Amino acid sequence: MPVIDDLDRGIAAAKQHAESADVVVGLELVRRSMLSRLEQLGVTHAPALGEVFDPQRHEAIALVPVADPAQDGRVIDVMREGYMIGGETLRPAGVAVGKRTG
């Protein structure tokens, strides 16, 4: 999983520079290939953004004040993607969770 995290950071950094478009394409190909191989082994991405916080699938890294009651207790941002193997959490997503103010 740390290698995928590194690829994600590399892609994000390369996207900041227009002259790095070919690098972005190459990194995205490597990332897709790696995820495809992991899927063959039963590992899948576990989307977290917008989900209700679940300590079995998410690791709260930050609390974010929110005014909207619908955002209270929901994943507002994902800092580290989570992955599952079968029905089990392989690595929880590192997330920011909304906390209603007022």
Nearest Cα residue to 2 out of 47, 34, 40, 50? 34
Rg (CA), the chain: 16
Cα angle 92, 34, 59 (rounded to 5 degrees) comes to: 10
Residue 62 maps to which CATH number? 2.30.22.10
Quote the number of domains for the chain.
2
Question: Which tens digit of pLDDT belongs to each residue from 65-92?
Answer: 999 999 999 999 999 999 999 889 999 9
Question: Which tens digit of pLDDT belongs to each residue from 9-68?
Answer: 999 999 999 898 999 999 999 999 999 999 999 999 999 999 999 999 999 999 999 999
Q: What is the pLDDT of residue 101?
A: 86
Residue with tokens 């082994």: 41
Q: What is the pLDDT of residue 18?
A: 87
Q: List Cβ neighbours of 53 (8 Å cut-off, separation of 6 or more).
A: 60, 73, 74, 75, 95, 97
DSSP H helical ranges for the chain: 2-14, 21-40
**63 and 34 belong to one structural domain:** no
Domain boundaries, position 21: 1-41
